[in-house]
Amino acid sequence: MKTIKIQCPAKINLNLKITGKLEGGFHAIESIMQTINLYDYLTINVYDNDKNEIILSGNSNEIPYDETNLVYKAARLYLETAKITNKKISIYIEKNIPVAAGMAGGSTDGAGVLYGLNKIFLCFDFEDLDNLCAKLGSDLNVCLHGGRILAKGRGEIITPLEFEEFNVSLIKPINLGISAKEAYTKFSQKNDVPPAALRTTFPLQGAEDFDVEFCPFLGGNAEQREAKGVKKFVNDLEWAVIDDYPQLQYIKQKYPKSVMTGSGSTYFMIDGEFENESGYWVKNGLKSVNFGVREV
């Protein structure tokens, strides 16, 4: 038997702009993503077997432990691509990243499986792993690399950006999860586009749509922010879904400098803290990290 344990970081979207549609019905995005020190852990055991077999288990009752799980799909893709046979892959998922929260919990676990199996079998180089991540879905490439990343396309076209350490806090309605499919569908169903007054234009390493008011570690005074047209929304998907969910409206009203990450329903705040209150999951005291999935 061979075993390995992989640490899989969550990500937040410091901004998210939808730029168009791609073939296959996907939306094209531009987003600056950042990995943070909130982790799932995968324990991967590999045994000799009379056939290929993938078995999942874990500590969460909110995710499936079958072939619909991205972890299962990643393990199967690795075995098939590497032409590995007669192995039993047992994966235990320690889930700490909330589900359907906009923090790439499934994607980081999928990237972690590819990375972990490759540490055992040594079949591919890092570029090959990047290609496998792109086949599986959005955000896996970001989670494989980690740090601050400019992501385009579906999220698989990535450019590393200069890393800055900063403090981050999270809040999420406990009984509200929003799938990416739901958020993008609601964006498509809007009869208008995000008004200019709700869009931001602050360049960062060649990217646009970054809000210094909500991310004070970038600096800038009130006059500079006003000149740049900085307003409330830096995430087009937040604009698309917030009217449908009173819990999100409550967060935004109480914490106007908070920003929704991904498709929600988690909000983050830079250099600030959320109060603990009934009905909401809160995690204060987190930090940005300069790495993606890795062995521990």
What residues are labeled active site? Answer: 11, 139
The β-bridge partners of 149 are 33, 160
Residue 286 has φ and ψ, to the nearest 5°, of -90, 170
Residues 6+ apart with CB under 8 A from 3: 43, 44, 45, 46
Q: Coil, strand or helix: which one is 280? A: strand
Residue 101 has φ and ψ, to the nearest 5°, of -120, 0
CA–CA distance, 294 with 41 (Å, rounded to integer): 10
| The three-state (H, E, C) secondary structure of 103-170, written as one string | CCHHHHHHHHHHHHHHHHHCCCCHHHHHHHHHHHCCCHHHHHHCCEEEEEECCCEEEECCCCCCEEEE
CB atoms < 10 A from the CB of 259, how many? 24
CA–CA distance, 158 with 61 (Å, rounded to integer): 33
Residue type at position 154: R
The β-bridge partners of 90 are 45, 55
Distance, CA of 5 to chain centre: 20
Strand pairing category for 53-58 and 87-94? parallel
The beta strand positions in the chain, using DSSP E, are 2-13, 17-21, 27-48, 53-58, 87-94, 148-153, 157-160, 167-173, 259-260, 267-270, 280-287, 294-295
